Structure 1
Amino acid sequence: MVNRSDVHYFGAGPAPLPTAVLERAAQVLLNYKDKGIGLCEISHRSPDANEILADAKHALSTLLDIPDDYEVLFLQSGGSGEFSATVYNLVAIWVEKKRAAIAGEVGDNQEEVLKRMHKAVDEELKLDYLVSGSWSLKASQEATRLVGAKHVNVALDARKSNGGKFGVIPPEDQWSLTPRASGGGPALVYYCDNETVDGVEFPAFPHALEGDDAPLVCCDMSSNFISRKVDVRKYAVIFGGAQKNIGNTGIAIVILRKSLLPPHSTPASPDLLRALNLPVGPIVLDYPTIAKNNSLYNTLPIFDVWVAGQVMSGLVNAYGAKRIGGQEEVSNDKARLIYDTLDKYSHVYRVVPDKAVRSRMNICFRVHGGDADKEKAFLAGAEKKGLLGLKGHRSVGGIRASNYNAVSMDGAKALVAYLEDYAKSS
């Protein structure tokens, strides 16, 4: 029998979880708070469920120093569901702001308002996407599916600067962002902070998205959530699936600027959206509805929230005043150790992305130039050493070592030892 302590798992998601959290989870699944029933069996509207939600929110807010004018939501859509939710919600806000401005000019003439709204949507509605990898590409494709290609501006397609493949982030002066004119600009700008498949991570918040007239920035942090400091105020929406650094599969977390919620912002009515041939989103992805109901509009998987809360509370307790900065130091140290070894044996290993944008979370590389048989042998040798989950994504192949928070320093060192041994014997 293989014990949990005998292996180190580098899978990209679902990812490893802290053993201590899993041990507590096993207990509460059977008997939560000595109530005689398990956590999966309690009502999502019970005081216990509300306490679990409050604890998870508090832990995340503490780690990332989330300002009071931001809301934390829990949804069941996963990161991919948020590709849709951001479009539904922010386009509806853009439309209503435009309608209010036009109504202020023409008064109660609804026919004229609708006529000018059609023109405004046709000529002005844009959603900007920075496509730096497979997930941001999927996000842009979903936006295109929902609102049509004419409204989606791919301001950056990194493949054009890298021979048709992802692996770089071109300089910002090469991006074609929608101009931010007075009263204008895109309904949103989306980017993926860390590309799980391609091993590309933005080293910092893009300068091009800053300023007094900054657009509504939606950032997908699914695979580097709670791994480094984040200036939350720079973002309108931060979202991510929990199954990388935060918890198990089943929930998405959204950090949302409260100014985008009623009474500060009002989305366009479904009737107006339909009249303009724009999509009306499902109620379970409607941010105002989810916020109004404390993430409990529908039956939320409270066990999944509990796991996420336990993971985040563990980091709060471990790093104290350093908050997420403590985990950032560990994440950086592990990544540096692995990359230094790969670079040391560059005749054997080739790191896929450019050095300036190497992900700290998903370390993608090829063995002997991508020789299929040698990479298969590399993976087989790793498994014999208890190093699991190293196979690259099916769409790109190669090797991928996911360096999530639950991967210990000992795990990183074990991988480095294997990299050394393999390189010396090749």
Structure 2
Amino acid sequence: MRKFNFCAGPAALPEPVLLQAQQELLDWRDLGCSVMEISHRSPEFVEVAERAEQDLRDLLNIPDNYKVLFLQGGATGQFSAVPWNLFGAGGSREERVADYIHTGQWAEKAIKEARRYGRVNIVASSEDRNFTYAPGPDSWCQNENAAYFHYTPNETIGGVEFDYVPEVSCPLVADMSSNILSQPIPVEKFGVIYAGAQKNIGPSGIAVGVVRDDLLDRTLPEIPRSLSWKIAADAGSMDNTPPTFAWYLSGLVFRWLKEQGGVEAMAQLAERKSSLLYEFIDGSDFYSSPVEKSSRSRMNVPFVLADERLDKEFLQQAEEAGLLNLKGHRSVGGMRASLYNAVPLEAVEALVAFMVDFEKRCG
């Protein structure tokens, strides 16, 4: 029996996608073998790759002057790839600088990696209030020589989401791992978008990159081959053997999203799901949200109980009720419900009903 999965990643996948993969697992397209067992350079798999790229382009309305890349190493790999690929026009190590907004643990990891290859200017930080809000542009302190401007539109751990796209003069780079495909994106405002797959795209093991063509020639000369966007683009993301099964499953998710009505439909659903949960939390004295209302994520909803001694009991009973993976990240504690595209509205309704009952019994 399938249960409701609120895991932050690897996260829930659409049930129709899982069923199709199950049906095709042993005999894909009457080839007598699995899609995992054929060459990535075969005509059959090249068709899968090209269809996945086109579907993603359709979903996000990606302009023709952007390359779509399917990469390895997850978003963490891209923390390194971003400076390696964009610092090449910045002179010596001491002269290279990039702007970063610091909004939590994933931004911090990206910042630490960039500092290995150049200087990082912290444009703004929400550390002063324990990363519970997204800093507005009135607080920025940009560097006019920055090679690029990096931010994390949605912080998975802290549950903070930007409600605007930064307007900057240098290439804008975004780690959209946890909110990509959840709403329309003005791709033309970005130089680079990257996202680990295991939240809204597909299974872990693959990442997506959307890179504007004019940024492919800014690499540092010593860049590792596996991190070069230009090499990946020139090779159709097949410079080496890619994670074919993850690519295939991601393609099935893209097709499922189009069948649901695309990112516009996902945005409406995300609003319904998150509003239902936040409105209940705000109306309760037993539960509370640590995130400022203007910065609350639609994808990741952290919340705490008035008495943290009840946390263990809450989680145990929730699991018994078929509500999985509600434990908050180890660094912040409490609870967290991740409401990615594949999480149905019924899951949130079941969660709220459980929370009402738990409060009555234990509050």
Which structure shows the bigger proportion of residues in helix conformation?
1
**1:318 maps to what in 2?**
260
Question: Deviation string for 1:213-253 (max 9, x for gaps)?
Answer: x2111100001110011000010000000000110001000
Q: Structure 1 residue 177 and structure 2 residue 142: aligned?
A: yes
Structure 1 residue 49: Cα displacement? 1.5
**1:357 maps to what in 2?**
295
**Selected match of 2:196 from 241, 244, 265:** 241
Structure 1 residue 58: Cα displacement? 1.1
Find the aligned partners of 1:41 and 1:253 in 2 and give their Cα distance. 23
**Selected match of 2:164 from 198, 204, 209:** 204
**Selected match of 1:159 from 122, 127, 136:** 127
Find the aligned partners of 2:219 and 2:355 in 1 and give their Cα distance. 53
Q: Structure 1 vs Structure 2: percent identity of aligned residues?
A: 41
**2:117 maps to what in 1?**
147
Structure 1 residue 291: Cα displacement? 0.3
Find the aligned partners of 1:295 and 1:350 in 2 and give their Cα distance. 44
Find the aligned partners of 1:409 and 1:355 in 2 and give their Cα distance. 21
**Selected match of 1:339 from 255, 278, 287:** 278
Aligned AA for 1:172? P
Structure 1 residue 203: Cα displacement? 1.0
Q: Structure 1 residue 137 and structure 2 residue 108: aligned?
A: yes
Counterpart contact for 1:366–1:399, Cα < 8 Å: yes
| Residues 125, 38 of structure 1: alpha-carbon distance in 2 compared, 3 angstrom cutoff | same
Describe how 1:19-418 pairs up with structure 2 within 5 A. 19-92=15-88, 94-95=89-90, 117-118=91-92, 122=94, 124-144=95-115, 146-148=116-118, 151-160=119-128, 162=129, 165-179=130-144, 185-207=145-167, 209=168, 214-261=169-216, 265=217, 267=219, 270=221, 280-319=222-261, 323-345=262-284, 347-368=285-306, 371=308, 373-418=309-354
Counterpart contact for 2:197–2:204, Cα < 8 Å: yes
Aligned AA for 1:357? S
Find the aligned partners of 1:401 and 1:51 in 2 and give their Cα distance. 36
**1:114 maps to what in 2?**
none
**1:112 maps to what in 2?**
none
Find the aligned partners of 1:76 and 1:125 in 2 and give their Cα distance. 26
Counterpart contact for 1:166–1:198, Cα < 8 Å: yes
TM-score after normalising by structure 2: 0.97
Find the aligned partners of 2:260 and 2:193 in 1 and give their Cα distance. 24
Q: Which moved more, 1:80-89 or 1:310-319?
A: 310-319
Structure 1 residue 170: Cα displacement? 2.8
Structure 1 residue 134: Cα displacement? 0.8
Q: Which moved more, 1:44-53 or 1:170-179?
A: 170-179
Larger Rg: 1
Find the aligned partners of 1:64 and 1:170 in 2 and give their Cα distance. 26
Counterpart contact for 1:237–1:257, Cα < 8 Å: yes
Find the aligned partners of 2:12 and 2:140 in 1 and give their Cα distance. 36
3-state DSSP class of the match of 2:33?
coil
Find the aligned partners of 1:423 and 1:200 in 2 and give their Cα distance. 26
RMSD over aligned Cα, in angstroms?
1.3
Aligned residues: 362
Structure 1 residue 169: Cα displacement? 2.0
Question: Deviation string for 1:95-122 (max 9, x for gaps)?
Answer: 3xxxxxxxxxxxxxxxxxxxxx55xx53
Aligned AA for 1:384? E
Structure 1 residue 152: Cα displacement? 1.0
Counterpart contact for 2:103–2:133, Cα < 8 Å: yes
Aligned AA for 1:388? L
Counterpart contact for 2:132–2:290, Cα < 8 Å: yes
3-state DSSP class of the match of 1:57?
helix
| Unpaired stretches in structure 2, ≥5 consecutive residues | none
Find the aligned partners of 2:112 and 2:20 in 1 and give their Cα distance. 40
Counterpart contact for 2:84–2:219, Cα < 8 Å: no
Find the aligned partners of 2:218 and 2:329 in 1 and give their Cα distance. 41
Question: Deviation string for 1:328-372 (max 9, x for gaps)?
Answer: 000111000010010110x11110111110000000010115x1x
Counterpart contact for 1:342–1:419, Cα < 8 Å: no
Find the aligned partners of 1:53 and 1:190 in 2 and give their Cα distance. 28
Aligned AA for 1:257? R
| Residues 318, 170 of structure 1: alpha-carbon distance in 2 compared, 3 angstrom cutoff | closer
Structure 1 residue 204: Cα displacement? 1.6
Counterpart contact for 2:87–2:218, Cα < 8 Å: no
Moved over 3 A (4+): 265-268
